[in-house]
Every structure is written in C-alpha cells, then in structure tokens.
Amino acid sequence: MKPNKITRAIIDATVDRSLREIDEDPNRSIRKLTDMGRNFATGRFLDEIYEMLQDLLKNDDSPYYTAIRNLLRNTSRTNIKEFGINIGYNSLTFGGKVIRGLDGKKPFNIPWCIVIRTDPSEPLSIDAADMSHIVSQGNDLGIYTYLIRCGGTMQAVDQLLLMFAEHPDSAFICLLPEGHLSPEQLSIIKKCRNTLFLFQAAKDSTAENVKKMKQQKSLFGLYDFYGDDTLLQWTEGSRAEEFLPYSGSFVIVAPDENCSKKTCEKMSRFVKRLRTEPKYPFIIFEQRFDVMQIGRIITDSRNDIYIEMLGDGNILTTDDTVIECRHTFSLEQILSVALPVDSE
C-alpha cells in the first residue's frame, strides 16, 4: 500500500506556491503555510504540532521565525517540500492511518519510526543492503520514517547515501559521523531530497560541512549527545548555544552510551520546555522520548513503542531491554520478538 499520488500532487502544488509567496511577505506567508499544513496533514501528532506553531507564530519576535528564515535561505524549496511531505503526509498522516488499521491484526506493535545504528567496524552491524530490505518491509506496515545513526568514518556512508535515493517515499534523518564530506558525497546528497542530514556540533569538520551544504542548498541540521556528566551544562544553556553558529533549523540530542534513565527523563523535559518556550532559533528534539511521544499520539495509545537496532545486531526496546535478534530475520519477525502485543 502506497501513499495516494493524487493527494500528494495536490499537497505538492499547494506547498510549492506557498513557499514562493514567502519571499514577498515572510511572516504572513509562514503563518499561512502553517495554517495550510494543518488543513492537509491531519495526522494526530501534526494537529498538536501545528496548534503549538500557530500559537507561537502569533508573536512576531518568536525565534521560530528566524529558524524558518534560515531554513528557507539555506535550503532549496524542492528539498524542503520533498522531505516535509514525506514526513507530514507519507509518515504521520498516511502511515499513521495504516498503522492504526493494522492494530489487532498483527501479533506485534508497530512503531511509526525505526532507529537504526550502523557501524562498519561492528561485524554484525546493519549495512545499506540490510537497511533497504527493512525500509521496503516497513513501508508495507505504514513505517515511513527512519532515524539512522552512523558510526565509523565518513567514507563508510557512500552506500547509505545511494540507499536513501532508492526509497523516495520514505523520510530519513541521518546522523553523520565526524569527517569531511567528499565532492562525490555532496553530489549524491544534493539529490537526496528525502533526507535530513545532521552533523555533530563543535566537531572539527562540522563548520566546513555545513558551509558546503548551504552552498548547494541541501537540508541539514545538528546533533549532539548528552549524559549524566553533562546534564547541567545542557539545562543551564551552555551546550545548547553550541548550535547557534551553524544557523541550522533542526537539532536532535541523544543519550550517550552510559546515560541513566533518570537523566534521559530530565533531558526530555528540558527539550520539551525549549520547544514550547523557545529561546533559540532552532526546533529541538530528544531522540528517544520524542519518538515515543509521537508514537503515542499517532496510535492513540498510552503505551510507549520504541525500537532501536543497535550496531552489534541486537535490538533495544521500549523498556531498555536488549534483545539478541539478528538482522537476517524479516522485519515482522523482529517486531514480533521485540514489540509483541502481549507485552502491554
């Protein structure tokens, strides 16, 4: 089952016209685009997000206006449109409907987003071919969003970049490793209009990579890790300010390997407060808790649904359980083991 092409074409044309109007009257057009998006994308999570944005954008001094202007200045309209429709319509609206329609028909819970770690240094790590197989199966279940965390070196992501282009209906959020992008990689990235590429803040290669992404108007953002020893730096604001020099409109923070559950919960509350009471010109998300929160709204469930495929081939589930489940299985087999319905 695929997203409706006619509906997508209507959304595509409307968004395209609205993006052109922003140049004439940015603030008014941004509010109009937000209102229009709420009318088209009726996913349950989007209703909540659009309501929040509509309220915030009533304030002409909102830092979100700066975030949106940065996005429009640094990114091609086509890239914004393709990624935005894949997230807003394919995943949260159409995909959410498919997931709810399968409720009770499958012996497992279905996540709206799958987090995947890939690291060539790990012998059992998922590679691009494995990932492509997972995405194809996931689309059949209504899963159209994939957050990819890349380990290793920048040279190892070549096949991954090609894989993104093979699945034009899906939305990929890719946390790239440290290292300078090659001209060949930048050329492929320019064609990956369904992908948001994130660079780790304050790394030696980040400023140069961001500069090149801006020059070719490819969609980018920033990410960083937090842990028990850095929580105070985050909540006091010093770490969040590291994102400012890059003018990226999207930020994701993720727990480091040794982060406690208590710190994750505190960080999640801090991130949510930054979104609803914005101080900085970017929209920030916490990797795990926000994925679960969106899932609760999409599925209309009080239960958290989360799955992260680790670099060693195992699976991290909602309650921090690590399951030995190799990626040679089908996605439905993996979900049956990791997220069985009877676990609720």
Residue 288 located in a structural domain = yes
In angstroms, rounded to a whole number, what is the distance separating the alpha carbons of residues 154 and 82?
25
What's the confidence (pLDDT) of residue 61?
81
In degrees rounded to 5, what are phi and psi of residue 148? -110, 125
Q: Does residue 267 sit within a domain?
A: yes
pLDDT at 254: 96
pLDDT for the residue 65: 84
CA distances from 113 to 38, 172, 221, 297 (A): 21, 10, 19, 13
247 φψ region: left (φ > 0), alpha (ψ -120 to 50), beta (else): left
Does residue 91 fall inside a structural domain? no
pLDDT in tens, 290-317: 999 888 888 776 778 999 998 887 898 8
Is the model's pTM score more than 0.85? yes
Count CB-CB contacts under 10 A for residue 130.
17
- 121 pLDDT band, cuts 50/70/90, is confident
Backbone CA torsion sign across 251, 314, 132, 333: negative
- What is the band of 343 on the pLDDT scale with cuts at 50, 70, 90? very low
With contact defined as beta carbons under 8 Å apart, do 137 and 126 qualify?
A: no
Residue 77: inside a domain, yes or no? no
Residue 85 lies in a domain: no
Give the model's pLDDT for residue 111.
95
Note down the domain range covering 200: 97-343
Other Cβ atoms within 10 Å of 168 Cβ, number:
12
Q: Is residue 67 part of a domain?
A: no
In a domain, 170, yes or no: yes
CATH number of 173's domain? 3.20.20
- Quote the number of domains for the chain: 1
Q: Does residue 255 lie within any of the structural domains?
A: yes
Residue 70's Cβ-count burial label (10 Å; 0-12, 13-18, 19+) is: middle
Chain segment 175-226, per-residue pLDDT in tens? 999 999 999 999 999 999 999 999 999 999 999 999 999 999 999 999 999 9
Instruction: Examine the pLDDT at 278 and tell me if it is beyond 80.
Output: yes
Q: Sorting pLDDT into bands at 50, 70 and 90, what band is 60?
A: confident
CB neighbours of 137 closer than 8 A, spacing ≥ 6?
330, 331, 332
Residue with tokens 């509906």: 7
